[in-house]
Amino acid sequence: MSKKPTDSSGISFTALYTGAVWHRNGLSDDALSTEQGRWLYHLMSPFETASKAAIGGNIRTFLLQRHLIIDHLIERAIREDGVEQVLEIACGMSPRGIRLREKHPTLKMVEADLPDMAARKAARLLAAGRLGDRHQVTPVDILAEAGDHTLEAVVARVFDNTKPIVVVTEGLTSYFSLPVITEFWQRLASVLSDRPGSVYLSESYLIPRQPLLRGSLKTLGGLLGSMTRSQVSFHFEDDQQARDHFLGCGFSPVRVYNPSEFYGALPIPQSRRDPMVRVVSARV
């Protein structure tokens, strides 16, 4: 495990809650349903209800918005760009690999997470008969700078490196300070630059302008940070700032999507106000 000031060893806790949200909304497979996730779903329900009433959206709203928009952009890359390889980092109990492989049997799908979560995910997929040459699970540590679990080692080991890749991180980047995650983004841009046509898809949460909401999210971030032993942070004030930052990391072109652009086109829940979440599509 990386020895940097912020490590990623505790984030798997929240992956169980996210997995439960997918399952409750018909997006997941029973093989990925966990008792811990179901317990967390019920525990969070009063908070989610109050949040939706107060600000017109809640964590579940943002989770579904980002997940379905990322799925849509992956499909676009497959259909329009001919991409045949997908890497989902911090896969947790994400059902994306199962759904993509069912729809695109020839797709090379690699799911990656920290060793403990990767082992748990692999065991569940294996028991369900889902693993094979074209659907794999492998350990990764995005902060590692040497060894078999580095970003660079994983990409080189598991993919045809003459072809482009779609790389997805969902529910990961906000658990790190901007300087720490920026180093990962710069390394990823370098890796993908050797594979023209590749695209990186992720989400980002904007820093809210309303003082009350900003204070509430700061409290929530502190709670999540203590549970996950990480530094939860919201990185950007607006879409342009996010776009400029990814350009500075070595990506180009960069597109920042507001979920409201997809209202009526995708089956995503709508926020009463401007959604806090954004989906970033960064190419090389």
Give CA–CA dist 164/195, Å, rounded: 5
Q: Widest CA span of the chain, in angstroms? A: 50
Would you put residue 205 in left (φ > 0), alpha (ψ -120 to 50) or beta? beta
pLDDT in tens, 185-232: 999 999 999 999 999 999 998 887 655 454 445 544 444 444 444 456
Tokens 């995503």 correspond to what residue? 268
Output the pLDDT for position 22.
75
pLDDT in tens, 19-29: 888 788 888 78
Class of domain 12-283: alpha beta
The answer to whether residues 181 and 235 touch, using CB atoms and an 8 Å cutoff, is: yes
* pTM, 2 dp: 0.87
pLDDT in tens, 90-145: 999 999 999 999 999 999 999 999 999 999 999 999 999 999 999 999 999 999 99
List C-alpha distances in Å: 184 to 55, 107, 197: 32, 25, 19
